[in-house]
Amino acid sequence: MSDLSEEEEEAEEAEANLGEYEGERNPEGERHGRGKAFLPNGDTYDGEYEYGFRNGQGTYRFKNGACYIGKYVQNKKHGQGIFFYPDGSKYEGDWVNDQRHGHGVYTYANGDTYTGEWLNHNRHGQGTYIYKDTGAIYIGGWVNGNQEGEAELIYLNHRFRGRFLNGNPLGPGKYIFDIGCEQHGEYIQAEQDTGQVEEEEELSFLGVPKWKASEITKLTLWTPHGEKPPSPKEDPPSFQELSSEVFSPARDEEGEEDEGSREEEENQDQEDQGEE
């Protein structure tokens, strides 16, 4: 989200006529049509203007190497556009009022990618996050930048299906193994000894949910809401024949998704700094 105050936003708009300008103007002397602006802070804009505002297709280059190529409406990034960040990451997709909003693809500096829905600068809705280093893939819901809702987390030789909350699996779910069986169970929230804490701080003291397996069956239809799966007709592999009784998809990807979130927050400020 934009971190600009109202006063800073007004100053930003007022700067539209600052710096050197080469291009078309209307009878009132306003920048109107095609033109190029060289701003006092070292940034440049090359594109379309209407009545003094960046409006239409344009390219805005920041002096630190960042660059936006796409649509503008009254000085705001609005419509289809690509933002290249100084750290090597980029976002390509929909913009609304200077924010990532709609559908877009974010490629992070570490090689991870997110493809899906955005709301007010945050991953929100349905989306797919691919972890480059491990090859794991998260497909499912997002709320305010966090993995939340029905989802599937795919690994090399198995996958987890269930619900996520605040980036962690929670509640009933199942692991599906390529050898042809499933392990059903539930992620249970492990509470840490918090002592006396404020009510709003309680969530931060909750531990990582722990997987508690209940039974192993042959492959069945996904029953995410806790319905008991049908009993197998043949004896499935035992718990010991599987890799472990306790799994943690959140721990397997610990730090990677958070790194992506930090990149977005840092780059979010970059989008607002320096624009005329």
- The CB density around residue 84, as the number of other CB atoms within 10 Å, is 19
What pLDDT is attached to residue 5?
A: 38
Quickly state the pLDDT bin for 8 (edges 50, 70, 90): very low
Instruction: Tell me the whole-structure pTM to 2 decimals.
Output: 0.78
Q: 3-state DSSP call for residue 121?
A: coil
* pLDDT at position 222 over 70: no
Q: How far apart are CA 131 and CA 112, in angstroms?
A: 5
Report the Cα 93 to chain-centroid distance in Å: 12
Q: How far apart are CA 37 and CA 219, in angstroms?
A: 62
128 and 231 inside one domain: yes
Which tokens belong to 249? 């998809």
Which conformational region is residue 86 in: left (phi greater than 0), alpha (psi within -120 to 50 degrees), or beta?
alpha
Q: 3-state DSSP call for residue 259?
A: helix
Percent of the chain residues past pLDDT 70, beyond the cut: 71
What is the average pLDDT across 53-64? Answer: 97
73 and 119 inside one domain: no
Domain around 39? 1-84
Percent of the chain residues past pLDDT 90, beyond the cut: 64
Q: Has residue 274 been placed in a domain?
A: no
* pLDDT at position 229 over 70: no
Query: Tens of pLDDT along 97-151?
Result: 999 999 999 999 999 999 999 999 999 999 999 999 999 999 999 999 999 999 9
- C-beta separation of 265 from 253 below 8 A: no
Q: How far apart are CA 272 and CA 157, in angstroms?
A: 43
Q: Has residue 90 been placed in a domain?
A: no
To which residue do tokens 């009545």 refer?
51
DSSP 21-56: EEEEE-TTS-EEEEEEEE-TTS-EEEEEEETTEEEE
The more confident residue out of 13 and 209 is 209
The more confident residue out of 7 and 58 is 58
148 and 248 inside one domain: yes
Q: State the total domains in the chain.
A: 2
Q: How far apart are CA 114 and CA 122, in angstroms?
A: 11
The more confident residue out of 266 and 109 is 109
Q: Has residue 238 been placed in a domain?
A: yes
Asked which of 12-16, 46-50, 148-152 is least confident by mean pLDDT, the reply is 12-16
Q: Give me the count of residues in the chain.
A: 276
Q: Has residue 94 been placed in a domain?
A: no
Q: Has residue 129 been placed in a domain?
A: yes
Query: Tens of pLDDT along 156-208?
Result: 999 999 999 999 999 999 999 999 999 999 999 876 555 554 544 544 446 78
Which tokens belong to 117? 């829905």
6 and 143 inside one domain: no
* pLDDT at position 48 over 80: yes
78 and 140 inside one domain: no
Which tokens belong to 241? 């024949």
261 and 126 inside one domain: yes
